[in-house]
């Protein structure tokens, strides 16, 4: 199993999040666990072609 990074924040009522690679697909959940389930649904839909990944993801080295 691999891991993938996602971004999230806690709002007043929901956690809101998106995959780093697919920021165009934002989802939410009442709990962090529900948010992760919804994120996995989006990931699977992108992998099967049901959703199109329009954003490009790239990493850049930064000085430390």
Domain annotation covers residue 23:
yes
Domain annotation covers residue 59:
no
Domain with 13 in it: 6-48
Domain annotation covers residue 37:
yes
Please name the residues in contact with 6: beta carbons below 8 A apart, sequence gap of 6 or more: 17, 18, 19, 20, 39
How high is the pLDDT of residue 57? 79
> How would DSSP label each residue in 1-64?
-----EEEEE-SS-EEEEESS-TT-EEEESSHHHHHHHHHHHHHHHHHTSS---S---------
Domain annotation covers residue 54:
no
Tell me the two tokens of residue 27.
Answer: 């989802």
Domain annotation covers residue 64:
no
pLDDT per residue, tens digit, the chain (64 aa), is 889 999 999 999 999 999 998 999 999 999 999 999 999 999 999 999 999 988 887 889 999 8
Domain annotation covers residue 63:
no
Domains contained in the chain, number: 1
Residue pair 7/18 in contact by the 8 Å Cβ criterion: yes
């Amino acid at each position: 199993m691999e891991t993938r990074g996602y971004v999230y924040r806690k709002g007043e009522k929901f956690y809101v999040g998106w995959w780093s690679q697919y920021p165009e697909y934002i989802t939410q959940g009442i709990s962090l666990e529900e948010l992760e389930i919804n994120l996995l649904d989006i990931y699977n839909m992108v992998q099967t072609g049901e959703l199109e990944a329009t954003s490009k993801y790239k990493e850049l080295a930064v000085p430390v």
